[in-house]
Structure 1
Amino acid sequence: MRLVPIQYVKAGSFLAKTIYDDRGTILLREGVQLTENYIKRVVQLGMFSMYINDEYSEKNVEDIIKPELRQKAVRTIKDTFYSFEKFNLNATKNNVQDKKYITEKQNYFKAIGDIVKEIMEEMLCKKTVLINIVDIKSMDNYTYQHCVNVAVLSLALGIQLQLDKKKLYDLCLGALIHDIGKALVPEEILKKNNKLTEEETSIVREHTKRGYDFLKGSIDISATARIIALEHHEREDGKGYPDMRKDDEINELAKIVAVADVYDALTSDRPYRKAMSPNDAVEYIMANGQTQFSYDVVKAFSKCIVPYPEGTIVRLSNGEIAVVEEVYPNFVLRPKVKIINKKNAKDEAIYRDLRNELEIVINGLQYEVTDEKSL
């Protein structure tokens, strides 16, 4: 199984992961043979990549949480965002205390709390938490899918940092709702195809305070989770927003969500740019430790994120093309690989453990393999 940009997907390939539409309904089920019409339909839904199975990548890439739980979480976040929009409209009519809306708001936040418990239960029982979180997102559902990914990655970082269960709960909860203020950002701004104007940028940046204000007074949302929504765009060097906090002025859990938020955003296709490769995104995060991000969080991030999951085809610095066979904790940038563009004299497969062959590095991802003999 490997994640392939849509322009490299060929008719006749087999889908390796089920694709859902913006309502959470199955669009294409895992195992279906792809046709030109199927591929066009996926593009029309605003998806720019998909997982496929081929002769080069036979291993499955398992999600850290069950697909059913992921879809349930996305639907719950989506419904909560819509509730926020309705609550805001109600507020403009001076009926802020309307019991119907307050009860609905509380019910949604209770449902999110239940989702957090389920995600924690799945992830805490795993012996190691290595994350390949490059997910297939649709443009329509991007914000909700992004929130779930950020929650999963934040929780993995929290586990790596050995936080206690109370902090892990607040971390996961705050991460799930960190972008709730974007429910009030006009869709035409969120989906704009080019650079935002200063005014539009200012509107987007209001989402942190708007989200924080909406969460006030909710008995199911802790103060720490609210602060995560407020501070996840603050920076270590004080150049973030909304309050230009720095260093120890920023909540420790908000620092974790900041890293998860940027990583998932960088590795996602957006209307104004294509997704960055996972390895480039990892390098960006690591290069900005102590300026944009907390050094301790970046160090934890480097140990549990998997930029080259099993099944990924990569280019090596010595010119070889290889498939990632095994990923090692604490050495995620140096996996074991199988060379696919040449064999030894006995026509046997060649394997390289990059932990031991330090002179060889991975130069990048290889999406298209045409002819093994000519590569």
Structure 2
Amino acid sequence: MRLMPIEFVRPNTVLGKTLYDIDGRLLLRAGSVLNQATINKIKEINILSIYIVDKYSNEEIEDVIKPEIRQKAIIMIKEAFSNIERINTSNKIRNSEKDYTWQEQSYFYNIGKMAESIIEDILNHKDVVLALVDIRSMNNYVYSHCVNVAVISLTIGVAFKLPKKKLEALCIGALIHDIGKALLPKEILNKHGNLTDEEKEIVKQHPRLGYRYLSSTYNINSLSKLVVLQHHERPDGLGYPDGLTKENIIDLSNIVSIADAYDNLSTDLPEKRAMFPSDVLEYLMSNAVSKFDYEIVSVFCRIVIPFPKGTLIELSTGEVARVEETVPNFPLRPIVRIIKSSRSSRIDMKVSLISELSIVVTAIKYDMN
């Protein structure tokens, strides 16, 4: 199974992962054979990439959490955000618990229970690594992003052996880290094209708006609330909204900051395609100390798998290879099998890029023509 941008998908391609609509309804089951009309429909609902199964990659890539849990979490976050937008059209800031409606309190409670389910599912995995990119429609990008940030954050938290209570606070904080965006003016949030400098400053207030909104509810842990407030702060003091420096930013906020950046950079968007996997990791490493916590970035770069098994890649030799295995601690130097080469003796040869240091991955290959 491999991830394929929708523009490269051709008729008679087999779908590798089930597709859902913005409300979590099943659209197309894994194993379906796609025709041109179906491909066009996928494009219409703004899904930019899908998983396919072909002769080069027919193994399943297991998600970190069960698909049904992921979809339920996305729907829950969507409902919470939509409800908050509806109730807070006047941008009213709460001053006491009694200002919260029963519906809002139930959302907060359910998000906490959902966090428990996600944590339990992740902890049931023998080895927690990040190998699967979530398939998402741009129509529900914000909600899918929140769930993905939670999953990524938890894999980091597990790698650091955080206690379960801290994992719960981390997961809840990550799930609602962008809740303040539900309180921003819709004309700014939904604007197409570049924001003005004034509009950018308004958007930068979403962590504070989210924190103030949550400040009185008893259903959200205080650490989770700090994650909402601090997830755009930076160790060098140049983050927002408060320009905090390293010693004043909690570790959970640093984790969510990295997860947030990774998910944004590695996801296809209409205005920009995902960065090349090695470029994403290099960006994180080059900005460790200034934008991100160095120790957390170092651990994260050891547990992420940028080239999952079955990925077709182009090598600096000009050859095309299939990823066979990723070696722990060396995510950018997988073991590969050559499937296309100008030298017939190299076809089907297994090559370890850890041993062959002169060979690097230069591109992900989608079209074999």
State the TM-score bracket (shorter-chain normalisation): over 0.9
Are 1:197 and 2:196 an aligned pair? yes
Name the SS of the counterpart of 2:227 in structure 1: helix
Compare 329-338 and 225-234 and name the one that shifted more: 329-338
1:186 Cα offset (Å):
4.1
**1:157 paired residue number:** 156
1:269 Cα offset (Å):
2.5
Compare 331-340 and 263-272 and name the one that shifted more: 263-272
- The alpha-carbon distance between structure 1 residues 340 and 90, as it changes in their structure 2 partners (threshold 3 A), is same
Which aligned pairs between 1:128-147 and structure 2 lie closer than 5 A? 128-147=127-146
Name the SS of the counterpart of 1:364 in structure 2: strand
**Amino acid aligned to 1:75:** I
**1:229 paired residue number:** 228
Which aligned pairs between 1:47-66 and structure 2 lie closer than 5 A? 47-66=47-66
Q: 2: distance between equivalents of 1:158 and 1:44?
A: 37
**Amino acid aligned to 1:21:** D
**1:207 paired residue number:** 206
Q: What is the CA deviation profile of residues 66-123 of structure 1, one whole-angstrom value per residue up to 9, with x for unaligned ones?
A: 000000000111111122123313775x998796952111111111111111111111
Name the SS of the counterpart of 2:33 in structure 1: coil
Q: 1: distance between equivalents of 2:344 and 2:90?
A: 75
Compare 307-316 and 271-280 and name the one that shifted more: 271-280
The two structures have a TM-score, normalised by structure 2, of 0.94
Which aligned pairs between 1:50-129 and structure 2 lie closer than 5 A? 50-89=50-89, 92=92, 101-129=100-128
**Amino acid aligned to 2:73:** A
1:301 Cα offset (Å):
0.8
**1:286 paired residue number:** 285
Which aligned pairs between 1:1-375 and structure 2 lie closer than 5 A? 1-89=1-89, 92=92, 101-342=100-341, 349-370=348-369
**Amino acid aligned to 2:17:** K
Tell me if structure 2 keeps the 8 A contact 1:130–1:329: no
Q: 2: distance between equivalents of 1:35 and 1:109?
A: 42
Q: 1: distance between equivalents of 2:262 and 2:189?
A: 18
- The alpha-carbon distance between structure 1 residues 98 and 296, as it changes in their structure 2 partners (threshold 3 A), is closer
- The alpha-carbon distance between structure 1 residues 130 and 182, as it changes in their structure 2 partners (threshold 3 A), is same
1:188 Cα offset (Å):
4.8
Q: What is the CA deviation profile of residues 188-228 of structure 1, one whole-angstrom value per residue up to 9, with x for unaligned ones?
A: 53444432211221221111111111111211211110010
Q: 1: distance between equivalents of 2:357 and 2:116?
A: 42
Tell me if structure 1 keeps the 8 A contact 2:132–2:308: no
Q: What is the CA deviation profile of residues 260-317 of structure 1, one whole-angstrom value per residue up to 9, with x for unaligned ones?
A: 0011011223343222233321221111111110001101111111110111111112
Tell me if structure 2 keeps the 8 A contact 1:285–1:298: yes
- The alpha-carbon distance between structure 1 residues 244 and 95, as it changes in their structure 2 partners (threshold 3 A), is closer
1:367 Cα offset (Å):
1.4
- The alpha-carbon distance between structure 1 residues 192 and 136, as it changes in their structure 2 partners (threshold 3 A), is farther
Tell me if structure 2 keeps the 8 A contact 1:155–1:168: yes
The two structures, once aligned, show a CA RMSD in angstroms of: 2.1
1:368 Cα offset (Å):
1.1
Q: 1: distance between equivalents of 2:94 and 2:80?
A: 19
Stretches of structure 1 lacking an aligned partner (at least 5 in a row): 371-375
Stretches of structure 2 lacking an aligned partner (at least 5 in a row): none
**Amino acid aligned to 1:176:** L
Tell me if structure 2 keeps the 8 A contact 1:139–1:270: yes
**Amino acid aligned to 1:17:** K
Q: 1: distance between equivalents of 2:276 and 2:346?
A: 33
Compare 101-110 and 170-179 and name the one that shifted more: 101-110
1:318 Cα offset (Å):
1.6
Tell me if structure 1 keeps the 8 A contact 2:65–2:121: yes
**1:373 paired residue number:** none
Q: 2: distance between equivalents of 1:216 and 1:133?
A: 34
Name the SS of the counterpart of 1:285 in structure 2: helix
Q: 2: distance between equivalents of 1:213 and 1:16?
A: 42
**Amino acid aligned to 1:275:** A
- The alpha-carbon distance between structure 1 residues 99 and 355, as it changes in their structure 2 partners (threshold 3 A), is same
**Length, aligned pairs only:** 369
Name the SS of the counterpart of 2:150 in structure 1: helix
The two structures have a TM-score, normalised by structure 1, of 0.93
